[in-house]
């Protein structure tokens, strides 16, 4: 096992009933990489993400996080091993304010969750850090607004803030620009580009412009199998990829 | 326990099981399709039994009571669904639905106590089915045997209805995804109303059938409701199969528990439930959430 | 109609602005309440009624921690109320009614029972959780009914003596209704204060996070099972405390304390008062108990009447009474909501 790999997926398969959503997939993500997974709808990208995050249990195969076999571990344990994620559909604490959303994540990382008697409001460290994160994703002005009433793009940004708040070493971004306007997309790409280089990114994305501007490595999934894997230019030049995927896109 | 008593207890267990099935299957269907826990279900059981009692006394005919009482209770169910419960459908409103059916249970129970009193009443079994029958080496009441067979028959009829008819197919589809069904241009509201009425009618039916064996008294409503809830919990999300097997399990556990450890018979039932929950948190046939 | 709404809004704003004074006035009223009884302005029964309201307010607050804050709809909360009453009754009739001993033991016993029941119940979700808690609650009820050598069967455990507060030679007997009122008031205020600290702490916010989105919290790394179990245990212990007071107040631990209609009744209190706040339960407990008292002295069919009132609340006043005392929920006032 390579010591530089932060994530290693080995011979992963997932069957739903008789249907194979993922078939013998092996992927390796190097520490500090910005890797994208692309593929047409139903290629198994979401399944792969959910298997990595622990939302699903694989039929076969193993997932290693920082060299540790996490295949049998639940979602929250994997998160505590440094795996953060955002969701394809906004998945937030909709009845709480933006600030309170981020604070939930910060207080977990700060191990303050078990603090029973001191008011969360009175903890300056919590407050400062949560506001800082909101500012970082451009939501400083929206701190006290209930999330349900935020604009869609703002909710997308809050997804990122939540994921960053746990200070992950690796971040799974599930279609970060899904449903966004071109202007919002540009902002989001800028936000993702501004993330520290030490943070490993694994992105599922449909927008090819976004993929090619962000990723230094691309993995192509098709019908639950990997058909190409390499540098963006090499993948772009791959005739098989052009035929079945990029050809469809243009 | 000798073979004789074992056999008798086994048969008695089946009697309880089948009665529970008639009761629980309505609860399970309503739960599965409409995502509503109907806490009035026990009160409907008792009401059915009491109406049956009055009819038998007035007309002297058990069979007519068996037919009419469930219809009356089912009609009441329809009224409740149509005028009230319908306003409370929707996600995140479980609490309101539950408290609504709880409030209604209080009313029904209070009114039955008012009209029929607080004493233990019993419906005489029909003359045609009175007496005992010789089964190999034991004697067993004919009426109880009839309960077992009618429970099995009802299970079969319901199974055919759910699996083989168009309405049954709609209900099956609705259990897995009610929104999709209404997307197909089917009036899901009407299906809900029908299933709710059917479920309550079945509770009323169970009340009449059970009255000659288990009698009628205030408090029986919650005893039977809790048993039926445990059946649904064990069986899992709104399936006929789950309700049937859950009923068998609980009916037998209850009967043998009462014979073997009378002080803790109920404890046995909940121990069974806890054990099943530990292994399958969504019940035997429930879909475990990913 | 418009003017009524405007006046209501004015009243809400006034309450919001003068929160501190409202609280002080209510506290004063609570403190001089026994005087009103002593000087025959109110009849003696109203003191018992006030005790009753306070006990049920603690009980309702304890359920609110689960239901309103964590989003766990428990329909078996009477299990811990009743268990608290039974433990107290058992201890005080056979061992001692010294609160310094009985309170810790009741808290320990109910917390332990909540830990065991919660261990099974908390792994289920939504309406399933409701059914499982209801079933476990009835399990305790049937044990209380059938295990008569210990529980007194359907009669319950009778002859519960008055409590005392003893430390060595100093033994304070709480033997008058008035003293018991003050004792109950003190327990209520302590419970309110403790629960307020808890719901405003990071732990309390984690519980709200579970209510809002359990799965998201897990993706952030929080083991939500443990937090739900912890909430269940804390809620169970406070319900047990209310049960202890109930047994002393009524001189009996009865199976009815454990019955599912008691669970239903306390849920109704939350619905009437407003869940997810700490004043809502007090408001709900007061409304329901006073209404019940009023109805039962006037009609034999008071349970029917109560059922109708409950249904009316479910159908027409979703946010409970507390929503009338507050301005409409907007982003600006939602912070104020948590504090009141």
pLDDT score of B101: 92
Q: What is the distance in angstroms between the Cα of A18 and the nearest Cα belonging to chain B? A: 17
Do residue C146 and residue B264 have CB atoms under 8 angstroms apart? yes
pLDDT at C224 over 50: yes
Residue in B159, C326, C42 with CA at minimum distance from that of residue C336: C326
Q: Residue A196 contacts by C-beta under 8 Å, 6 or more apart in sequence?
A: none
* Whether the predicted pLDDT of C332 surpasses 60: no
Is the Cβ–Cβ distance between A47 and A213 less than 8 Å? no
Helices C260-273 and B220-235, packing angle to 10 deg:
80
pLDDT of residue A142: 92
In terms of Cβ atoms closer than 10 Å to its own Cβ (0-12, 13-18, 19+), residue C128 is buried
**Quick check: B15 and B150 in contact, CB under 8 A?**
no
Mean pLDDT for C90-112 is 94
Q: Do B106 and C307 touch (CB under 8 A)?
A: yes
CB contact under 8 A, A115 and C221: no
Separation CA C158–CA C173 (nearest Å) = 20
* B119 burial level (CB within 10 Å; 0-12, 13-18, 19+): exposed
pLDDT, position C328: 46
- What is the average per-residue pLDDT within C332-340? 37
Which candidate, B104, B106, B285, B113, places its Cα nearest to that of B196? B104
Please give the pLDDT value at position B133. Answer: 84
- Phi, psi of B58, deg, nearest 5: -75, -40
For residue C257, what pLDDT is reported?
95
Predicted confidence at residue B237, as pLDDT, reads 67
- Whether residue B106 contacts residue C307, with contact meaning beta carbons closer than 8 Å, is answered with yes
Inter-chain residue contact C212 with A94, CB threshold 8 Å = yes
Within the 125-154 window of chain A, which residues sit less than 8 Å (CB to CB) from chain C?
126, 144-146, 149
Q: Checking phi first, is residue B236 left (phi over 0); if not, alpha (psi -120 to 50) or beta?
A: left
pLDDT in tens, C230-247: 999 999 999 999 999 999
Q: Which C positions 179-218 lie with beta carbon below 8 A of chain B?
A: none
CA B56/CA B117 separation, integer angstroms: 17
Give the global pTM. 0.89
Per-residue confidence (pLDDT) for residue A207, from 0 to 100: 84
Element (H, E) at A68: strand A68-69
Supply the pLDDT for residue B94. 80
Query: Encoding tokens for residue A123?
Result: 């903890």
Between B101 and B262, residue with greater pLDDT: B101
C-alpha span between A176 and B11 (Å, rounded):
62
Q: Is the pLDDT of residue B277 over 70?
A: yes
Q: How far is CA A163 from CA B27, C40, C274, in A?
A: 42, 64, 33
Q: Give the mean pLDDT of C198-209.
A: 95
Q: Which of C104, C126, C107, C96 is nearest to C62 (CA)?
A: C107
Contact between C131 and B226 using a beta-carbon 8 Å cutoff:
no
What confidence tens digit (pLDDT) does each residue in B12-58 have?
999 999 999 999 999 988 888 888 889 999 999 999 999 999 999 99
| CA–centroid distance for A220 within its chain | 17
pLDDT at B271 over 90: no
pLDDT of residue C53: 96
What lies within 8 Å, CB to CB, of C243 at 6+ separation is C59, C80, C81, C82, C83, C84, C85, C86, C87, C88, C106, C110, C253, C257
* Residue with more model confidence, C77 or C335: C77
| Subunit contact C303:B102, Cβ cutoff 8 A | no
Q: Do B267 and C306 touch (CB under 8 A)?
A: no
Which ranges of chain A have pLDDT less than 50?
A: 1, 249-250
Kindly tell me if the per-residue pLDDT of B288 is higher than 50: no
CA neighbours closer than 13 Å in the CB half-sphere of residue B11: 18
- Neighbouring chains of C at 3+ CB pairs under 8 Å are A, B
Predicted local confidence at residue C3, as pLDDT: 63
DSSP of C14-27? HHHHTHHHHHHHHH
Percentage of residues of chain B with pLDDT beyond 70: 97
B6 contact C CB<8A = no
User: Is the pLDDT reported for residue B215 higher than 50?
Assistant: yes
Test C206 with A107 for CB contact under 8 angstroms. Answer: yes
pLDDT grade for B132, boundaries at 50, 70 and 90: confident
* A73–C contact, CB cutoff 8 A: no
Residue C56 has pLDDT above 70, yes or no: yes
Question: Which of B37, B226, B265 lies nearest to residue C130, judging by beta carbons?
Answer: B37
Per mean pLDDT, which range of A63-77, B109-123, C34-48, C204-218 is the poorest?
C34-48
SS3 C299: coil
Select the residue of B87, B98, B262 nearest C75 (Cβ to Cβ): B98
Question: In the A/B pair of chains, how many CB contacts fall below 8 A?
Answer: 3
Which 221-240 residues of chain B touch chain C by CB within 8 A? 222, 226, 229-230, 232-233
Q: What is the pLDDT of residues B163-174, one digit of tens each?
A: 888 888 888 887
Nearest CA in chain B to A47: B290
Find the range with the poorest average confidence among A236-250, B74-88, B207-221, C133-147: A236-250
A111 close contact with C: CB closer than 8 A: no
Q: Which of A186, A249, A242, A201 is nearest to A36 (CA)?
A: A201
Interface of B with C in 79-118 (CB under 8 A): 84, 87-88, 94-96, 98-100, 102-107, 109-111, 114
Nearest C-alpha in B relative to A51: B290
What separation in angstroms does the CA of A42 have from each of A11, A224, B188? Answer: 19, 8, 30
Q: Give SS3 for A202.
A: strand
The average confidence (pLDDT) of chain B is 87
Residue in C205, C331, C335 closest to A149 by CB: C331
Q: How confident is the model at residue C339 (pLDDT cuts 50, 70, 90)?
A: very low
Q: What are the chain A neighbours of B290 within 8 Å (beta carbons)? A: 50, 55-56
Tell me which residue in B37, B104, B278 faces C307 most closely, judged by beta carbons.
B104
Residues near C202 by beta carbon (within 8 Å), at least 6 away in sequence = A107, A112, A113, A114, A115, A118, A120, A123, A126
The mean predicted confidence, pLDDT, of chain C is: 88
């Amino acid at each position: 096992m390579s010591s530089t790999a932060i994530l290693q997926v080995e011979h992963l398969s997932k069957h739903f009933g008789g249907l194979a959503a993922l078939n013998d997939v092996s992927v390796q993500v190097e520490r500090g990489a910005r890797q994208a997974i692309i593929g047409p709808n139903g290629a198994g990208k979401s399944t792969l993400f959910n298997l990595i995050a622990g939302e699903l249990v694989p039929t076969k195969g193993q997932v290693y996080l920082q060299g540790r076999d996490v295949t049998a571990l639940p979602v929250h344990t994997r998160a505590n091993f440094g795996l953060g994620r955002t969701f394809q559909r906004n998945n937030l604490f909709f009845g709480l304010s933006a600030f309170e959303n981020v604070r939930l994540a910060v207080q977990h990382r700060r191990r303050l969750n078990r603090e029973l008697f001191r008011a969360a409001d009175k903890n300056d460290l919590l407050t400062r850090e949560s506001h800082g994160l909101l500012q970082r994703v451009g939501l400083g002005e929206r701190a006290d607004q209930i999330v349900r009433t935020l604009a869609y793009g703002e909710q997308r940004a809050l997804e990122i803030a939540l994921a960053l708040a746990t200070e992950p070493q690796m971040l799974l971004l599930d279609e970060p620009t899904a449903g966004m306007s071109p202007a919002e997309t540009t902002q989001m790409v800028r936000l993702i580009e501004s993330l520290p280089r030490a943070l490993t990114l694994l992105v599922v994305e449909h927008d090819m412009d976004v993929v090619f501007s962000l990723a230094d490595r691309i993995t192509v999934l098709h019908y639950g199998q990997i058909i190409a894997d390499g540098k963006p230019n090499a993948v772009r030049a791959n005739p098989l990829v052009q035929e079945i995927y990029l050809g469809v896109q243009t | 326990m000798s073979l004789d008593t074992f056999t008798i207890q086994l048969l008695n267990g089946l009697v309880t099981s089948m009665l529970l099935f008639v009761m629980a299957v309505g609860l399970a269907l309503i739960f599965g399709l409409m995502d509503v826990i109907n806490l009035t279900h026990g009160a409907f059981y008792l009401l059915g039994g009491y109406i049956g009692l009055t009819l038998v006394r007035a007309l002297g005919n058990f069979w007519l009571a068996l037919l009419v009482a469930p219809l009356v209770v089912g009609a009441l169910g329809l009224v409740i669904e149509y005028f009230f419960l319908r306003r409370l459908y929707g996600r995140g409103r479980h609490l309101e639905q539950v408290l609504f059916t709880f409030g209604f249970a209080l009313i029904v129970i209070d009114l039955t106590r008012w009209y029929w009193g607080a004493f233990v009443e019993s419906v005489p079994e029909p003359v045609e089915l009175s007496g005992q029958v010789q089964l190999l080496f034991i004697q067993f009441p004919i009426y109880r045997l009839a309960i077992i067979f009618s429970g099995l028959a009802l299970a079969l009829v319901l199974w055919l209805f759910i699996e083989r008819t168009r309405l049954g197919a709609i209900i099956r589809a609705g259990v897995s995804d009610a929104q999709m069904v209404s997307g197909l241009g089917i009036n899901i509201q009407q299906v809900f109303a029908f299933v709710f009425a059917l479920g309550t009618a079945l509770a009323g039916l169970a009340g009449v059938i059970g009255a000659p064996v288990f009698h009628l008294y205030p408090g029986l409503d919650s005893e039977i409701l809790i048993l039926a809830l445990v059946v649904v919990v064990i069986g899992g999300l709104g399936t006929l199969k789950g309700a049937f097997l859950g009923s068998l399990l609980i009916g037998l556990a209850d009967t043998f528990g009462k014979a073997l450890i009378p002080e803790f018979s109920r404890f046995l039932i909940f121990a069974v439930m806890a054990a099943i929950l530990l292994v399958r948190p969504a019940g035997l046939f429930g879909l475990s959430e990913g | 109609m418009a003017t009524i709404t405007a006046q209501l809004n004015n009243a809400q704003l006034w309450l919001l602005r003068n929160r501190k004074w409202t609280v002080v006035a209510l506290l004063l009223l609570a403190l001089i309440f026994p005087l009103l009884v002593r000087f025959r302005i109110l009849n003696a029964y109203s003191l018992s009624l006030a005790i009753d309201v306070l006990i049920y307010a603690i009980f309702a607050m304890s359920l609110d921690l689960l239901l309103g804050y964590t989003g766990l709809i428990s329909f078996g909360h009477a299990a811990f109320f009743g268990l608290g009453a039974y433990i107290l009754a058992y201890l005080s009739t056979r061992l001692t009614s010294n609160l310094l001993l009985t309170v810790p033991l009741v808290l320990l016993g109910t917390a332990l029972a909540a830990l065991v029941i919660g261990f099974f119940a908390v792994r289920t979700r939504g309406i399933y959780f409701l059914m499982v808690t209801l079933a476990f609650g009835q399990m305790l009820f049937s044990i209380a009914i059938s295990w008569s050598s210990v529980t007194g069967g359907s009669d319950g455990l009778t002859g519960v003596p008055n409590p005392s507060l003893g430390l060595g030679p100093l033994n304070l007997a709480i033997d008058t209704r008035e003293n018991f009122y003050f004792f109950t008031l003190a327990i209520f205020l302590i419970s309110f204060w403790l629960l307020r600290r808890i719901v405003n702490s990071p732990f309390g916010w984690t519980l709200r996070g579970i209510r809002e989105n359990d799965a998201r919290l897990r993706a952030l790394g929080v083991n939500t099972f443990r937090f739900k179990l912890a909430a269940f245990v804390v809620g169970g212990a406070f319900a047990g405390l209310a049960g202890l007071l109930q047994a002393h107040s009524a001189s009996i631990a009865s199976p009815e304390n454990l019955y599912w209609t008691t669970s239903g009744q306390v849920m109704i209190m939350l619905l009437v008062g407003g869940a997810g706040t700490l004043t809502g339960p007090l408001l709900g407990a007061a409304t329901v108990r006073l209404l019940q008292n009023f109805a039962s002295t006037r009609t034999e069919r008071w349970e029917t009447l109560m059922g109708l009132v409950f249904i009316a609340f479910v159908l027409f006043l979703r946010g409970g009474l507390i929503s009338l005392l507050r301005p409409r929920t907007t982003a600006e006032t939602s912070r104020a909501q948590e504090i009141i």
